[in-house]
Amino acid sequence: MFGWFRKKRKIEEVDTTKETKSETKKETSKSHTKTTLCPYCGNDFKRVVKAKSKCKACGKTVYKRTSISGESIVVTEEEKEKIDKEYEVRRVISCDIETLNSNYAAHRGYALAAIRKELKERFGKEPLASDIAWYILNQESVRTLSDTYNIGSYQNVRLDMARVSYERGNYATALRLLFEVIYLDHCNMYKVVMLMHDPTLASVMPYTKGSVPPALVEMAYVLIDLSGTDEGEAEALYVEANRSLYAAYSPEISPKESFGELKQILYKEKTK
């Protein structure tokens, strides 16, 4: 089940002191910022190109897009696909960190002002909203994991951490966290935990492997791209990220087996 994934956070009005908007914004493409130049041959179109145009000089098709950082850019076919994919994933993975902090403050009782003060003392400067989020989510990871019944909440927290890492531009960290989220679904950890607490349930609800929601696979695609993680590295990361979960709950599928199935999707279709 992945109802946790559809869960939409309630946006509540919480009075928080505004942070400086200094979060690092990611650049999708550093080149071709001039909207009139062909990204293939440098030919000057001398006009703002349309959504899709053919370059008269080299014959290649170029595309106009808006980069993640908000600039109008002219890109190659390959770059266009990357940007489109990134937008697609942003719809699922991106988060508003201030809202996330406010939600944890409202629902879990975190005192944002006190956390900000503590971090400011520790860092010697004003913390970013994402520093506060990271602090909260680390505490929430420990809290939810210490209660084995709470594996779904733990999964939500790890997904939030993946989102925050993504927003900070830490794609490898985001991928590692996402791999935990994926493994928890794939081995149907919710059920593993349930059967662990009441083995008699096995006769009525035998263990079955879970499935990975397509949205998570999409996220993994993009994070693999952004972090430049090859198949071997991804496998090592997947196994490492899930080692302690596997040791703690012994689900039937090991992280290595889980990745073995997943890589069919992640690395086969990637070459398309």
The residues that touch Zn ion, with contacts defined as CB under 5 A, are 38, 40-41, 43, 55, 57-58
From the CB of 62, what's the least distance to Zn ion, in Å? 7
From the CB of 43, what's the least distance to Zn ion, in Å? 4
Of residues 37 and 95, the one with the C-beta less far from Zn ion? 37
Of residues 54 and 256, the one with the C-beta less far from Zn ion? 54
Of residues 56 and 125, the one with the C-beta less far from Zn ion? 56
Report the C-alpha gap between 231 and 267 in whole angstroms.
7
Of residues 48 and 236, the one with the C-beta less far from Zn ion? 48
Of residues 8 and 47, the one with the C-beta less far from Zn ion? 47
Of residues 24 and 33, the one with the C-beta less far from Zn ion? 33
From the CB of 266, what's the least distance to Zn ion, in Å? 33
Both tokens of residue 63? 């595309």
DSSP letters spanning the chain: --HHHHPPPPP-----PPPPS-PPPPPS-SS--STTB-TTT--B-SS---SEEE-TTT--EEEEEE-TTS-EEEE-HHHHHHHHHHHHHHHHH---HHHHHHHHHHHH---HHHHHHHHHHHHSSPPPHHHHHHHHHHHHHHHHHHSGGGHHHHHHHHHHHHHHHHHTT-HHHHHHHHHHHHHHHHTTHHHHHHHHH-GGGGGTS--------HHHHHHHHHHHHHHT--HHHHHHHHHHHHHHHHHHH--SS-HHHHHHHHHHHHHHGGG-
From the CB of 45, what's the least distance to Zn ion, in Å? 9
From the CB of 48, what's the least distance to Zn ion, in Å? 16
Of residues 38 and 100, the one with the C-beta less far from Zn ion? 38
From the CB of 49, what's the least distance to Zn ion, in Å? 11
How many residues can be counted in the chain? Answer: 272
From the CB of 95, what's the least distance to Zn ion, in Å? 38
